[in-house]
Amino acid sequence: MGKKIVVSLTLLIMFISGCSPKEEREVISDEVTIVAPSSVGGGWDTTARAIQEILVSEKLFDGDIHVLNKVGAGGELGWKYVQQQKESVLAINSSLLITNHLLGQSMLTYKDFTPIAILATEWEVVIVAEDSNISSAKSLMDNLKKAPHAYKIGLSPRLGNDDQLSFVLAGKQVGLKPEELDFYVYENSAQVVDALLKKQVDVATMTLAEAKKYYDAGQVKLLVISADERLQELPEIPTWTEEGIAVVFEHWRGIMGPPYMTKEEIQFWDRTLEKMVKTEAWQQTLEKYMWDDFYKNSSETTKFLEEQGKMYEALMKVDQADN
């Protein structure tokens, strides 16, 4: 009698949920590829590999997950590849997906994909070589104001990303015009730092996670961070606000899929990634790279991307008006 009741309850639960656990899993292929539209070691790549490792180690996905690096055109080549796929391919994204389009560098927009999640945010930093005579962000901006072409500024992977935009916004606070600054673009942050150490550029702007290993190795100095207050982990690094420049700037990263993903596929990733961001492994990843948790599910991400699109469009219009 008891056995029949258990079976009946199981069937009832399956009926209510709409599918069995096996059927639920079958909406996703046994092999999933996460595209990092950058070289190994970059921010997109780091995010992709963190997701891969945690989904496997925490047994949140019982198939194979591969990370595919498709490098070029500031993320464009990787995103084009994903946009042409039918299933089982995801991609890491960031605000560059929005700004590429606004700057006329891409026909793609976030509307050409299926939003899956926003995962984390991180802060931007400005760095110089350890032996540089630039001692602070304030002195850097003061010198640039006097002679805008005095310093070469390195960044990656493309103009219009948050690395450049955060620096431009800080510059505008002291009266610098974006077109007066000399930006040099490299494929990834490793190349930027290499150029910095070889004196090919004088200063660089990038995310904290990308810069920290070089800081820990004593190769670079962190002049300033775009946070609202000093970080507990790096109490010696001042904020832009402390340097007299009213800028607080967060850089986000998310994940998206090709267009026309099914409702079942989206729901699967909503459930899976929500579980992932609650794991201790993900919390350790956030701590390791000094990222801030910023998880948003698929519907929240769609709304967020719409808001970000409007925000960046407004920023670009302001820049054009100033020019």
The 10s digit of each residue's pLDDT in 187-242 is 999 999 999 999 999 999 999 999 999 999 999 999 999 999 999 999 999 999 99
Q: Are residues 37 and 107 located together in one domain of the fold?
A: yes
Strands 89-94 and 250-257: antiparallel
In this model, does residue 84 exceed pLDDT 90? yes
Tokens of 280: 């201790």
Location of structure tokens 């399956």 = 14
Q: Are residues 258 and 314 located together in one domain of the fold?
A: yes
Last residue of a domain, one of 205, 224, 250: 250
Burial class (CB in 10 A: 0-12, 13-18, 19+), 230: middle
Collapse the DSSP code of 316 into the 3-class scheme (helix H, G, I; strand E, B; otherwise coil) and give the result: helix
CATH number at residue 201: 3.40.190.10
Q: Are residues 218 and 300 located together in one domain of the fold?
A: no
Q: Are residues 68 and 127 located together in one domain of the fold?
A: no
Q: Are residues 138 and 217 located together in one domain of the fold?
A: yes
Last residue of a domain, one of 250, 278, 307: 250
Q: Are residues 130 and 211 located together in one domain of the fold?
A: yes
Q: Are residues 106 and 153 located together in one domain of the fold?
A: no
Q: Are residues 17 and 115 located together in one domain of the fold?
A: yes
CB-CB neighbours of 188 under 10 Å? 21
Lowest mean pLDDT of 36-40, 195-199, 292-296, name the range. 36-40
Question: What domain count does the chain have?
Answer: 2
Q: Are residues 67 and 89 located together in one domain of the fold?
A: yes
Contact 302, 115 (CB under 8 A): yes
The residue segments making up the domain with residue 208 are 123-250
Q: Are residues 240 and 133 located together in one domain of the fold?
A: yes
pTM for this entry: 0.85
Let me know the angle formed at the C-alpha of 107 by 105 and 113, rounded to the nearest 5 degrees.
Answer: 125
Lowest mean pLDDT of 12-21, 57-66, 85-94, 268-277, name the range. 12-21
Return the exposure string of 45-81: e unless at least 16 CB atoms fall within 10 Å of the residue's CB, then b.
Answer: bbbbbbbbebbeeeebbeeebebebbbebbbbebbbb
Let me know the angle formed at the C-alpha of 51 by 46 and 55, rounded to the nearest 5 degrees.
Answer: 150
Last residue of a domain, one of 201, 225, 250: 250
Q: Are residues 88 and 137 located together in one domain of the fold?
A: no
Q: Are residues 32 and 8 located together in one domain of the fold?
A: yes
Dihedral angle sign, alpha carbons of residues 228, 98, 154, 168? negative
Instruction: Say how far apart CA 96 and CA 298 lie, in whole Å.
Output: 19
CATH number at residue 280: 3.40.190.150
Confidence of residue 2 (pLDDT cuts 50, 70, 90): very low
